[in-house]
Structure formats: structure tokens, C-alpha cells
Amino acid sequence: MAALTRLVGPSRLDLAEDATQDALLRACRQWSSSGVPTDPIAWLLTAGRRSLIDRWRRHRLEAGPPADEAAGSTPPPEIAVIAEAEPLRDDTLRMLFLCCHPALPSEVRVPLMLKECGGFVVSEIATATGKSPETIAQRLVRAKRKLRDIGATFELPTSTELLERSEDVRACIYAIFTEGYRPAAKDAFLRPELVAESLHLVSELDHAGQGRDPLTAALAALLAFHAARLPARRISGDTALLLEEQDRSQWDRELLSRAFIAFERSLVGPTLSRWHIEASIASLHAMAASFADTDWSAILHRYDQLLAVAPTAAVQESRWIALSMARGPTAALREIEACPDASDDSPGRPAVQAFLRERSGQFALATQCWLRAALHARSPVEAAYFHRRALTSSARPGPKPPE
């Protein structure tokens, strides 16, 4: 998509989208019978370029050529070069920054990036952003129209503009990774293609010359730390092993090494961002030889810092878990009871309560909490997991006095 957009320009984003879909459909038909080619990316790019030329010619036939031009003649220079052009290494990076153009409203940028750079469909973007599919579809249409109207180019911005747009780009990459690591929009417990794409995108951003900065290095470290756990997290079926259940010898050592190197590079400059704090938390998990050896007091301190810069429900829920591990489940349950319930139909809070009730030996109450979490699950896979946990809790003996 990025390579084709470079060739036709942002004003013809719809044309690039259609040609991308043509190439993918052609691959579905041909590869199933002839096999995957040696270089599938080159194959898709060639198919996409041919589709662009065909679509341009059809457009000329339907619209009618000028009087001095025969219908179906040679495409203009900017289209004709498609047959020979090779994609640039930073095409995807250009696409990311195009989607963060300052002329676009802030609420449009991440949805546009998720669609054009992450391959998300409208329903997936709606789930990831908490908006309705109709709202997302309208925003995407307006975004494309705006890029066309302002004559946006497919060039990397200046160093100053690049820094201004980088935080939106980081937020998008993080959203792509999150949907891959813990999907909400698909019936799966993992979408490895999105995890891989987010690692690629953050690497491109991190190596973008003047765009390289400590915040991007911190995000690169954070994603690599989490991705390194995937070999131990994945199991057959529709669930995944929790951190405490994982065999840490299966963690990807190469990714861990990359993560620590990126984290060290991030520790310069005056800014302490959410990416730094989250990467620090992930590094503490990575340094622990086992779940029991984890420095939960240090992790709790990091979550206190994170809550100050990113006061979200998800951060608060993770902090409660850290608090329970550092000081016991009773302390965490007391905090939860004292904290007003936002009632946002999220499964997070009841799931945390269920986990803490189990640790306290209150299995009947844990069962109720798991079932409540299942009612607000984001996907069938998540709902099935909560139901299994409820079934397990209901079979446990109790009650057991809290500590």
C-alpha cells in the first residue's frame, strides 16, 4: 500500500487501496494452485502496479479522453513509471507520517494509520478505538478528501515536523502491537502478523535519521520485551499462558537483547514518557529468573509513575495486580473497593477482582467476578477464557480466610 501510494500520490489514495486489493485477490487465486512465489512481495508489487495502470486506463475510457488523445493511450509519466519503479525502504515510514499530517484532525490520524499501515478493516478500527463503525468510516472518507484537497505529498516531513508527528506515529504502532498481542477484533488469542508489523514499523521509525529519539527507542524496547515472550505464551487452542505460567527458557533471547539495547539508548534526555516507564516495567520482568523472583515493589513504584502520566483504566488495573503481588491481595481489594467504578462496560476491573479473590481463597466471589467479566468481554475468545476461569473457581473448595 505504501509503495503504491508513493507512485500515485496521496491524492489518489483510493486508487492505491483498490490496486492493493486487486493484487491480494490475484495472489489468493493464483498462489493456491501454483504455489507461493520465491519473492512474494515483489510479485504483489508487480501485480499492484499493473492494476494501477489498468484502473487508470479504465478511468480514462469511462471519463472520456481529451479531443487530442486516443482512449486507452499510454498513461501519463507519473503512472507510466510504475512498471519500472522500485519501492523505497522508507515507504511505510512515509505513509505513517502522511497519516499524521497536521492538517488532519487528531481523532482521524490513528484510524487512518491503522487502516493504511496496519491493514485493519473498519470494524477492527472501531473496536480498537471504541467508536462505532459508522463514525470510523466517515472519518476515513473525510481524511482522504482532506489529503487530496490540501495537495499532500508523499515526502518525509522536515525534522521539526517529523518530531511533531512522531507521538501520533508511536501511538499507532502501539495500537497495532496491542491488537496483535491481545486481540479484541478477531476470534484469536494472538495475531502474530500484527506483532511482526509493529516491530518492523517501530524499527523503521527508530532508524529514521533525524526522527530517532529516546521516546521511539523506549517504545522499540517495550515492544521487543513483550514480543520476546510469545514463544512461551503461545499454546494450542484459543488461549495463552499467563506470565506466571510461562517457561522463561523459551523467551526469545535475540529479541530480549534488542530490547535491552534499545532501552539503554532511551535513557538519555529530560523526558520520562509512558514508553520509558512501561519499558522499565517490562525490563524488570525480563530480568527476573522466575515469576517468584520478580521485584514487585519496584514494579509497583513504576506503575505509580505510569499512573501519573497515563491515568487510564488499564494502567490502574495493572497497578492493582502489582500491588497484590507486592503487598498481598487484601491490600489491592481494599483499594479497588475505595475506587469509584467507572462502569465503562470493560472486563478489566471484574477480571482483576476475580484474580484477587482467587488469591484470597474467595472462590465463590471469584466465580461471580469472572462471569461478570465475561459479560463485557471484547471478543468470543476472551469470553471463553473468562468462562473457563469461572468454571475452575467454582470447582475450588472454600471459603478460605483472607490473609
What is the C-alpha to C-alpha distance for residues 135 and 129, in angstroms, rounded to an integer?
A: 11
> pLDDT grade, residue 399 (50/70/90)?
low
Amino acid sitting at position 247: D
Cell of 153: 505529498
Between the alpha carbon of residue 144 and those of residues 42, 118, 172, 345, the distances in Å are: 27, 16, 18, 32
Cell of 210: 533525524
What is the C-alpha to C-alpha distance for residues 355 and 215, in angstroms, rounded to an integer?
A: 33
Cα 283 from chain centre: 20
User: Of 88-102, 140-154, 212-226, where does the model show the most confidence?
Assistant: 212-226
Return the domain boundaries, the chain: 1-87, 89-196, 213-282
Q: Cell numbers 505529498 correspond to what residue?
A: 153
If one compares 278 and 98, the residue with the highest pLDDT of the two is: 278
Q: What angle do the packed helices 159-181 and 214-227 form, to 10 degrees?
A: 10
pLDDT digits (tens, 9 = 90+) for 202-213: 988 887 754 468
pLDDT at 318: 95
pLDDT at 117: 82
What is the C-alpha to C-alpha distance for residues 282 and 272, in angstroms, rounded to an integer?
A: 15
Q: Which residues pair with 240 in a beta bridge?
A: 234
pLDDT at 354: 95
Q: For residues 249-277, give the mean pLDDT.
A: 93
What is the C-alpha to C-alpha distance for residues 264 and 134, in angstroms, rounded to an integer?
A: 43
pLDDT digits (tens, 9 = 90+) for 162-210: 777 888 889 889 988 998 888 876 667 788 888 998 998 898 888 775 4
Cα dihedral 149→150→155→159 (10° resolution): -150
Between the alpha carbon of residue 365 and those of residues 325, 332, 342, 374, the distances in Å are: 19, 15, 20, 14
